[in-house]
Amino acid sequence: MDLRPPADAIAITGFMGTGKTTVARIVAERLGLDVVDTDELIEANAGTPIPAIFAADGEEYFRDLESAALAQALGRGRAVISTGGGMLLRPSNLEALRRAGPIVCLTASPDAIMRRVGADDSRPLLQVADPAGRIAELLAERQHAYAQADAHVDSTELPAEQVAAEVLGLLADDPRARWLTGARTTIPVTLPDARYAITVGAGVLDEVGALCPPRERGVRAALVTTDRIAALLADGTMAALRACGWEPHPMVVPDGEASKSLVVLGELYEQMAAAGLDRGSTVFALGGGVVGDLAGFAAATWMRGIDLIHLPTTLLAQVDSSIGGKTAIDLSGGKNLVGAFHQPVAVVGDVGTLTTLPPEELRSGLGEIIKHACCFDGAMFEFLERRAGTGLVDDPPALEYLVSRNCQIKAGVVEQDPHEHGVRAVLNYGHTVGHALERAAAGWSLRHGEVVGTGIVAESRLAAWLGVSDEETALRQERLVAAWGLPTCVSGIDEDAALAALARDKKIVSGRLRLPLVPEVGSFRIVEDVSIDLVRRAVRSVLAQGRRQDARR
């Protein structure tokens, strides 16, 4: 499935009398967007009706005003833009609209157009002796421009409501407009021993029961969550599951990383036993990566493995930890030391749940998103550059796009390498340095996504030192990390501790390691045989930058 950044505008264009203005209003209303009519904008700017502009200054001058009005409309934020019938005649207008989003052209037969506007004296181009002949002439002249639109809807026989419904149907299938129509995204994951679907959308948690695979083996279930998440989401999720015949038992663990422990796992097993969970039961993990890892490991080990359904509620869990089948708990000796690969039977990611997520948790998820953009998707990288500093949670289409596209990227890598023997190493971009910093920070006080951001900065520099990329590619990544409020350097971490933590990296063999690096934004290369000395230099560079930053404060 082709998933691209959300459109900034949807253009409704076409010849006069095809119903552009009315249809654009209906489409905008259905999508909850503003509508901008460029002809109205021209008249408002000029303070004169269009026929008077034509009469006084001619068509070429009007076309200049039209281009200016288009630039103004595109600068107003996401909207449906209803254009004048000649808008596409100028290639620069066509290009600007194309960059912004899909262009839908309404058409109608010459007879229908004649019936609708032939006698309209506000149409300057039709003030001739033979308006029908003029319509035919103009249609022929403009045919080439209208053919450039992405989609066409014939309004000859249809009322405006129906034309709008057809336009909305086309938009739901468009890779850039689908996010505006509320269309949910289903990403299939096919592994040698498992198949499941990731469903992403706003409000999908309310339909969780229907989105789960058929309950062939039993209806009893554990709904594992934390106290904090339970207060926000457990009641609704329990009700949605019950409505579809599940018998969910809420199992609440304390919030935070400390719950990924043998003690909490033991308590969870006791609750599962008390609820009578058997081999046909299902574990639902409602929460962030902590719940996913803990409940996932419980599901992987309960009666040698029962069904697991992830209901991720943090950005990090939606774009990363719920996909791929890794489950784990921590020991005092380190994070994720005890674990298992256990693929879920479904993942339901409701982007609506992210509206209550604290900003620092949202930023943490963005670390992994930036990593995916660096390695896989230049268009997503550019989207993140454009959108830097804006509130994502206020923009459901942007969130739906980011979550869906990142699920698709991670699922694609996992499909190629389910057990992390090869290409999945690319997902470690930014993580070699990131993990060393994370381990060196006392008590894991840094958020995972934050250290990934710093790791990306360090490893992008390393790529430039090696000549794998140029300096600008490294700087672009650093600017993006900074633009989303993630740290580009760290302070308060002891250099010796960071280097000692780096030395414990399992990837190091005889002082060298394999690293995924980014030659150009949107692509990656696994570079063999990187000297650990160079990685040390990368770690030192972000620590030194942190010290300089502290000194300036």
Ligand X SMILES: NC(=O)c1ccc[n+]([C@@H]2O[C@H](COP(=O)([O-])OP(=O)(O)OC[C@H]3O[C@@H](n4cnc5c(N)ncnc54)[C@H](O)[C@@H]3O)[C@@H](O)[C@H]2O)c1
Closer to ligand X by Cβ: residue 114 or 433: 433
Of these, 82, 155, 313, 469, which contacts ligand X (CB under 6 A)?
A: 313
Residues near ligand X (CB under 6 A), total: 30
Q: Which of residues 180-199 bind ligand X (CB under 6 A)?
A: none
Which residue type occupies 458?
A: A
Question: Could you tell me the smallest distance in angstroms from the CB atom of residue 448 to ligand X?
Answer: 6
Cβ proximity of 160 and 26 under 8 Å: yes
Closer to ligand X by Cβ: residue 86 or 324: 324
Closer to ligand X by Cβ: residue 206 or 255: 255
Closer to ligand X by Cβ: residue 84 or 296: 296
Closer to ligand X by Cβ: residue 14 or 288: 288
Question: Could you tell me the smallest distance in angstroms from the CB atom of residue 353 to ligand X?
Answer: 4
Q: With the C-alpha atoms ordered 458, 460, 461, 467, is the resulting torsion angle positive or negative?
A: positive
Q: Please tell me the distance from the alpha carbon of residue 363 to that of residue 543, in angstroms, as a whole number.
A: 21
Q: With the C-alpha atoms ordered 534, 539, 545, 547, is the resulting torsion angle positive or negative?
A: negative
Query: Is 316 near ligand X (CB under 6 A)?
Result: yes
Of these, 14, 324, 344, 367, which contacts ligand X (CB under 6 A)?
A: 324
Longest dimension (CA), the chain: 90
Residue 26, CA distances (Å) to 157, 180, 466 in order:
18, 14, 55
Query: Is 314 near ligand X (CB under 6 A)?
Result: yes
Cβ proximity of 80 and 177 under 8 Å: no
Query: Is 287 near ligand X (CB under 6 A)?
Result: yes
Site string for ligand X, 210-249 (x = CB under 6 A): ----------------x-xx--x-----------------
Of these, 271, 301, 336, 473, which contacts ligand X (CB under 6 A)?
A: 336
Give the range of 6-14, 65-73, 190-198, 288-296 binding ligand X by CB under 6 A.
288-296
Query: Is 257 near ligand X (CB under 6 A)?
Result: yes
Residue 247, CA distances (Å) to 218, 278, 390, 471 in order:
9, 13, 41, 57
Q: Which of residues 349-408 bind ligand X (CB under 6 A)?
A: 353, 356-357, 361, 364
Query: How many whole angstroms from its chain centre is CA 488?
Result: 22
Classify residue 160 as exposed, middle or buried by CB count within 10 Å of its CB (0-12, 13-18, 19+).
middle
Question: Could you tell me the smallest distance in angstroms from the CB atom of residue 523 to ligand X?
Answer: 23
Closer to ligand X by Cβ: residue 108 or 290: 290
Q: Pick the closest to residue 25 from 163, 181, 155, 127 (CA basis).
A: 163
Give the range of 98-106, 269-277, 287-295, 377-385 binding ligand X by CB under 6 A.
287-295
Give the angle 398-402-406 at the CA atoms, nearest 5°.
Answer: 170
Which residue type occupies 138?
A: L
Question: Could you tell me the smallest distance in angstroms from the CB atom of residue 13 to ligand X?
Answer: 41
Give the range of 51-59, 70-78, 255-263, 491-499 binding ligand X by CB under 6 A.
255-263
Query: Is 320 near ligand X (CB under 6 A)?
Result: yes
Question: Could you tell me the smallest distance in angstroms from the CB atom of residue 473 to ligand X?
Answer: 25
Question: Could you tell me the smallest distance in angstroms from the CB atom of residue 26 to ligand X?
Answer: 34
Site string for ligand X, 408-447 (x = CB under 6 A): ----------------------------------------
Give the range of 54-62, 303-311, 315-323, 341-349 binding ligand X by CB under 6 A.
315-323
Residue 534, CA distances (Å) to 512, 519, 547, 553 in order:
10, 17, 20, 29
Query: Is 512 near ligand X (CB under 6 A)?
Result: no
Q: Which of helix, strand or coil describes residue 359?
A: helix
In sequence order, the β-bridge partners of residue 194 are: 191
Cβ proximity of 380 and 3 under 8 Å: no
Site string for ligand X, 35-64 (x = CB under 6 A): ------------------------------
In sequence order, the β-bridge partners of residue 63 are: none
> Looking at the annotation, which residues are catalytic?
304, 326, 368, 410, 420, 424, 428, 431, 435, 448
Which residue number is nearest to ligand X in terms of Cβ? 289
Cβ proximity of 524 and 517 under 8 Å: yes
* Structure-token pair, residue 272: 């599962």
Of these, 317, 370, 462, 474, which contacts ligand X (CB under 6 A)?
A: 317
Helix axes 38-46, 50-74, angle to 10 degrees: 110
Query: Is 108 near ligand X (CB under 6 A)?
Result: no
Strand order in the sheet with 103-107: 34-37, 79-82, 9-14, 103-107, 151-154
Give the range of 71-79, 151-159, 242-250, 251-259 binding ligand X by CB under 6 A.
251-259
Question: Could you tell me the smallest distance in angstroms from the CB atom of residue 333 to ligand X?
Answer: 15
Q: Please tell me the distance from the alpha carbon of residue 182 to that of residue 400, in angstroms, as a whole number.
A: 9
Question: Could you tell me the smallest distance in angstroms from the CB atom of residue 164 to ligand X?
Answer: 35
Strands (DSSP E) found in 192-319? 194-201, 220-226, 247-253, 282-287, 307-312
Q: Please tell me the distance from the alpha carbon of residue 263 to that of residue 331, in angstroms, as a whole number.
A: 10
Residue position matching structure tokens 């920070």? 441
* Structure-token pair, residue 495: 């250099």
The residue ranges that bind ligand X (CB under 6 A) are 226, 228-229, 232, 255-257, 260, 287-291, 293, 313-314, 316-317, 320-321, 324, 326, 335-336, 353, 356-357, 361, 364, 448
